[in-house]
Structure 1
Amino acid sequence: MVAAGLTVFLGHGLRFPAEAGDQPVPYAQLFGVTLALPASVVLIGARPRNSIGWLLLAVPVFGTAQDVASVYAVRAQARPEERLPWGSLAYSLGNALWVPALCLLIMLVIFYPQGRPASAAWALLTWPLGIGALLATLGMATAARPAAEYYRGEGPVVQLPAVWTHVLTLGGAGLAAIATVLVLGGACVRVRRAAAPERQQLLWLLSGLGLLLGVSFVPAGEWLLPPALASVSFAVTVGVLWYRLLGIELILRRTLLYGGLTAAVLCVYGGVTAALSTAVSAGPVPAVVAAAVVAVLLTPVRDRLQRAVDRVVYGARHDPLLPLRHLGSQVSAGAADVLPVVVKAVASAVRAPYVALTAADGTLLAETGTRSEPMLVRPLTVAGSHVADLAIRPAERDGLAATDARIVDALTAPVALIVHTQHLNRELQAARRRAADASSAERARIRHDLHDGLGPSLAGVALGLEAVETSVAGHPAELDALVRRLRTEVAAAIDDIRRVIDALRPVALDLHSLVAALRERAEILTRTTGGRPRVTVEAPDDAPVLPEQVETAVYRIADEALTNVVKHACASQCLVRLTFGADLVLEVLDDGRGPYPARSRDGGVGLVSMRRRAEELGGSFRFVHSRRQGHRVYVRLPLPA
């Protein structure tokens, strides 16, 4: 305030140059800059730890310092009899201090509204903006005085060569301009992504800066600067203290709509008029045709512009069905756990900083954002049964806005169904696991009883009959034939028991599909053998559903073939390939050189078993061994239509 008063005092009654009769006091600029003082004082008093008030205070400090310095420099030259000292220094300051004052307004966007940069990337932008402002200030302060502006003062206190001042001024201005574009562009992105109240706060500041930048390019708009500068201070104050004071969304919506519509009409009218004027030499034809084109295009352009403005200002709230469509598309994307997707979709729809889903027993199912009070809890029910609670931290201080409340009401039913479906799905999976475990345990018990109980018993009977046959040698032929027949029947019973054990469905097929079970088996073999051989499975993920006997046969044949590869082939690579069509084709290929035995040494049936399994289902089996290409097991099984 002292600087503003001193500026008016020094310029009072001063007319220089005399022939022009101009007075050097920039009253409009001085008035506009000092309007930021009350706002900054209010912010510092209300939020002393928030740097926004201090940054805003620096703007009138630099602005009034520039004004008093420039008027002082003019007076020092116009009134040499007063012998005012430091006239050159005053000229340099008056010529350059507007640069930091302007850059401080851009710096406000970086620190707004929390008083600190929103992220590390935003903090980095302060460096090019500050360095650019410093370089441009030095360049302006040390540049030679233009000859036409001899009345502005004696000249800079330190005058550098023109090359250096140009480098400093243009380099600093370019760096600051790039940083300004990045800051304003990033602020627009923040507006699109931010939740309330930060969104409304940014809208207030950007609307004020937009007005200031707009009037800066208006010819003879000197007296438009005070309200523009005042609007920035007012926007900052409202955004920090009470962001909902005047409904910035409605104001901005109308401004963008009609401002953009007016610009579009002027562009179309001017373009059509200019184009037709080149073709038609005279007459009212260009203006009439241009007016007709504008009239035809005005309504569709307005409708499209209205939708675009609504998307920018209101986000999801401009279209009540958009959150439902977004939620449906997110859930249909096929995520393994859809509940985190659901809470993010709800938070995005109402721009809530925190959303959580809690089960009826209090278990947290999913959440997004940082929890804070107050919380709005909506119970989720399905067929009268309480399944979960939807907790929302409203973006507004006074709770959900009316539109947001309607959106939440619309989302409650589908979210409840999704949560209930997820619960049923988890129960189904648990029941399937229990059934698979019970089936596996039962098969293990049967296998154990047959293998360790009945099987050895029958084997002992067979040995006893063999001893009986030896002891009765030479006795009547009828007794000898009876013993041999008993031995044959017991051997057949033992083979039947082995066949039953061998035909039991693998446990892996109860837990997984055929392709997944083969891949799991391949991973186990690769891991246990240290990657020699490395077993891979090549099969489509959307394999058709197969009959149980086909799945069992394919898995057993592939498992037997892989066992042979590991034990006998000496291979480094092995590929299991499944293809589905009218027939199922199984191929097991390896690059080994070792020969396969016809029967496994551990008592298995090897290639014979694989051939038997394929032929029992009406298929074919082929085994090829090549010293150059390795081994190939080829199985073709017919599939039902």
Structure 2
Amino acid sequence: MNPVHHVGLVVMAAVWLGCAVLLARSGVRRGAVLLAAAAVTIGVGVALEGVDGVALAAQLTAGLVLGPLAVLAYPRPGTLSRHVDRAAGALLVLAAGVAAAVPEHAGIVPAAAGVIGLVIVHLWWRFERLTPDGRRPLVWLVIGLGVPAVVAFATSIVVEGTPTTQALTLVALGVPAVCMVVGVRRPDVVDARGIVVEATVVGVTWTACLALYVTVASTLALTTGTDPAVGVQAIVACCCAVAYRPLRRLLHSTVDELLFGRRPDPLAAAARVAGGPLTDPGDVLARIREALVLPYAAIHAAGADVACSGDPTPHVRRFPLDHAEDDLVVGLRPGDLQLSRADAEVLALVARLLGQTRRAEALAAELSQSRAAIRGAVEEERRRLRRELHDGLGPTLAGIAFTVDAVTNLAAGGSEQVAELLRLLRREASRAIDDIRRIVYDIRPPTLDQLGLRGAIAQQAHVLRRADLEIVLQVGPDADELPAAAEVAAYRIVTEALTNAARHTASRTVTVTVTREGDDLQVAVTDDDAGSVDREWVPGIGLTSMQERAEELGGRLLAGPTPSGGRVVALLPLG
């Protein structure tokens, strides 16, 4: 044994000692430590290939102990499987000891088979008990273990023992470490299940095409008794190449259906989504998910979700809605790396429809806000005009009337013609004062400014109260702090409804309810006239005026009989 071999043994011993020290500490990623030890052991085994027994011992230690133990400890042992991990580790060490103890290496193959079976069973056991987030690192681990297995199988079939295959095998042995790191650090960088599905489909398709080529070539050779010519082999290879894409598509759809169920027809899905109403974003997103079998769908605007359906997924695809910066966000199905072209076209079409709907809703909201602002400005202007008429023109006319009275008193006993003219002037001034008062009341009832909405309604109820009629007021404490337009509309609607109930029904009790519901004011007037149930309410001037007052503010009014009596309900926006 030359000095290089001694150095290799010392390095391997030092690595194992260091691993033992690290594994004794808490908080250490045992999988990474064991994997590093396995890599160093394999390297030392390659360097000591000429030493009898040492290379084999290194390979057995790395392949049957350190590597599988790294898999068992990945990503980290948990309380759920701690005892199972320890038992599996003990069995691995026992298998390695059996493989080394059996003479002439006869126990290596059975021990390797047992270790592989034990690792598979252990991974399956953990996979079944982990949450979806905890399973992602294990899927990456399976990918990492599958790559060197496939490479080893392929190189053993095609050509074995060349420097190229040895280098390829060493590179493949480094893939598990990379996949394990990705599984711990960035398990959601790509859907690992999609990689597994794609790799399986590609591998099976290549195998099928190769089997087809071998079958056809062998059949021709058996039939003709000689090997096919190069041209014939080229034609067979071209036919296999042409069959590759359809076969791959067929296999992919079959695997999709087996794993995730039958996918819907994109055109039928588009018709189903576009055929329903698009006004409710939540309902539209639910139809999109149901039609295309998607796990998640949302409308994203201004850095937040306006509406969503389903559970968020780590991998999504965005489709612009052509409205501001809104996007239609959909989650990829489990096992999909991307959406199919047909699904993408359907979602792009739906996104354009949603964009138009969102734009129409935005315009309608702006129109409603503008109308409310205009109505509020008009009501404020009417309040100012009422104040000017009441405080300016009204006193002026009253002063003129008083002056006429004074002149009449001074002219007493004078010309009868002068007295008649003064009386006429007094009547005209009184009529003008009455008109001013009526205009002032029509513009805005003075009682609203004097008593507030609650007091004004109470005063009107007192005026309309009969001996056999009780009016119950239920006005919320925040009903007096309302915009001028909503305040006037609520007062007019309540006044008209009370008047109708007092004059046209046999009610014993009328209940007035005024409450603030968020950004809306709800006004309700109900009576207990059971006889109104059988009578049809024909809209007259009163109902029509109430309807118009509610619609002027962008609200709505419902009026009609109920099993317990008549009811008038108005919902008035305050914004």
Range class of TM-score, shorter chain: 0.3 to 0.5
TM-score under structure 1 normalisation?
0.36
TM-score under structure 2 normalisation?
0.39
